Amino acid sequence: MKHAIRTIGVRLLAIVLSVQIVGHTQAAVPSSESLLPASTVAYLSVANPADLEQRFDRTQLGQFAQDPSLEPFVEQVRDSITEKMGDFRERIGITMDDLRGVAGGELAWSIVAREKGTAGSVLLVDTTGNAAARDALIKKIDSYLADRKATKDSVQASGQTITSYTVPAQNADDKTRYAAYFVAGDLLCVTDQLAVAEQLASRLGGTAPNPLKSLPEYAAVMSNCKDSGDFSDGHVRWFIQPFKLVDAIRTIRPRTREGEDRMAQFREQGFDAIQGIGGLIKVSPDAKRDFIHRTFIYAPAATGTEAGEKYRLAMNMFKTPNSSDMQLHNWTPRMIARYTTLNIDLLNAFDHFGTLFDSMIAGYPDAFETAMDRFKNDPFGPGIDFRNEIIASLGTRICAMTDYTLPIDTTSERFLVAIEVKPNKMATLQAAIAKYLEKDGYIKKELEGHDIWEFQPQEEEDFDIGLDGGLLDEPQEEEEQRLLTRSAVCASDGQLFIASDVEFLRLAFKQATENEALAESFDYQAVQAALENLAGGPQCSWTFTRTDEAMRPTYALLRENRLPQSESFFARMLNELLTPPEDQKNQLLREQKLDGSKLPSFELARRYFGPSGRTVRAEVDGWLMTGVLLNKAEN
């Protein structure tokens, strides 16, 4: 009996040891940040696509996206994202759904720059447990490219067999394209440049030199975003080197339009100090929070600057001191869609704006200085010293809130901006504002005991004068006239107010009651508590958004099939995402391809859009942004 037990024990030990040996001899799939080279200029990594999808489905947005009436819209957004991420569907015939079905672990997409030649788009997929699906995907790629008359070849590189394709131009506007892939254990690598596939193959089998994770810009971004709590890691990681990314994209799609190079101008103005941007996103970390995210803008001090300056030229505009005193004003109304406050040294920003104006707006030297001189000395101008009478009178805090008018139309969004005025500068500012606005067509009025200036176009005129001095044949549009009529300005109560309409401005002249104050709103308090937990302490900016109210104009116009004409923030974002590249190039207004009338009513949809917030903290080498989107049903 003892012998039998001993024999069983020895066999069990042998099995355990063999499993351990096999486990150690079978190479694990390397993480993408360890495999990709430091020449990676754009990077997106999903730790586990299947887990991410399940988490997203638990969020309210995920539940909303599962509504059958939204399927065409969701599909179009998914296709647009795929197109903007290198258009792998067009190049090699695979979709995001295909990749989701193959990934058993990490799925990463990147753009790898090359010193010479075209940059490469790369997909790295950990296919652990999905070998059959991976092989089926490879067959799909091969079949797709065969239908396009691609020439297939096979090369050996660093012990890996790389299958490559040369795809001939499909029409007169097309060009010869390339594709390549290899499988190393459970790792599938797909790219559009054979040289990039060979480079990645050479980095397998050991510790790859100079990986992405050792890149100083990437390391700085991730170290600032990570902490020991909620952001110990993320379900999604992303990173770009903005200026190097533009350079890489131009090797893929060379510029064909004539004119000045905007990126060269930004570099000239010192904005290349922004060396990296990236962050972490966590989806459904708990029942109360649908999304939390953290982003870091890495902008260390530049070399070769003027004495006392951190950056070169216009980049020095962004001096944003942190503050512990950025509470709501007691007049801040409860029912607004979005509220943002920012601390910025406005006089410093003004003093560094001139070279940017000269280079990117006017197009010739000393244009800004000339314009400011005309403000002061032109006999037909307002006769004010813009810098010393207006800008120097302002403090560092700016507050902005937005809302909308009903019924919804393309210009429904309205705003109110309040800029802090230095205590001893109000009289100087009021006198300068009066001279400036009187010359600019504003009319002085009284509102709630305050002097305000309101812009009112001459209603009896049915024509306007063009920029070339000639008459325009058509009168202004009704919506444009209404928008201009609403704008109003007032300097009072320690603030410079700029509003889209008089009624919105009126709210700033009385203290909100407890039931009417944003500070007493439950959703505002919930967001502030969540932000304090994620990123407490001094900050230079924070934002509160009622996502449902902020989305309402966009949603209403989508249902009316008028979304492309909208001027709202979300509409412009969707237009940017959904407009085909060729239409963007020609600055054409896209056609709405979806029948929005089939969408559920806003009152049914709004329950899926919870409140959100974001805080920004200025660091020595950049800015750290932390945000949260709450689950409305759980808060």
Q: What is the pLDDT of residues 129-145, one digit of tens each?
A: 999 999 999 999 999 99
Residue 578 has pLDDT above 70, yes or no: no
Out of 403-407, 506-510, 534-538, pick the least confident: 403-407
Residue 463 confidence (pLDDT)? 41
pTM recorded for the entire structure: 0.88
3-state secondary structure of 164: strand
Tens digits of per-residue pLDDT, 122-179?
999 999 999 999 999 999 999 999 999 999 999 999 999 999 999 999 888 888 999 9
Rounded mean pLDDT, 506-510: 92
pLDDT higher than threshold 80 for residue 232: yes
Highest mean pLDDT among 198-207, 346-355, 592-601: 346-355
Alpha carbon 470 to chain centroid, angstroms: 41
- Whether omega for the bond prior to residue 209 falls within 30 degrees of 0, making it cis, is no
pLDDT at 473: 43
126: which strand partners?
A: 187
pLDDT of residue 466: 41
Which pLDDT score is estimated for 495?
A: 97
Q: So what's the pLDDT on residue 570?
A: 56
Long-range contacts of 620-623 (CB under 8 A, 24+ apart): 621/220, 621/298, 621/299, 621/300, 621/301, 622/220, 622/224, 622/274, 622/296, 622/297, 622/298, 622/299, 622/300, 623/296, 623/297, 623/299, 623/320, 623/540
The confidence score (pLDDT) of residue 458 equals 55
Average of per-residue pLDDT across 398-406: 91
Higher pLDDT, 569 or 444: 444
Residue 5 is predicted with a pLDDT of: 38
Q: Say if residue 3's pLDDT is above 70.
A: no
Cα(184)–Cα(200) distance, integer angstroms: 11
Examine the pLDDT at 100 and tell me if it is beyond 50: yes
Query: Which pLDDT score is estimated for 372?
Result: 97
Residue of higher predicted confidence among 588 and 425: 425
Query: What pLDDT does 406 receive?
Result: 79
What pLDDT shows up at residue 153?
97
More confident residue, 93 or 422: 422
Domain extents in the chain: 28-240, 319-459+474-518
Q: What is the pLDDT of residue 10?
A: 39
d(CA 358, CA 340): 29
Q: What are the Cα distances from residue 215, in Å, to 39, 41, 220, 275, 390?
A: 9, 11, 8, 11, 44
Q: pLDDT value at position 418? A: 98
214 pLDDT exceeds 50? yes
Q: CA-to-CA distance for 314 and 525, rounded, in angstroms?
A: 37
Pick the more confident residue, 43 or 575: 43
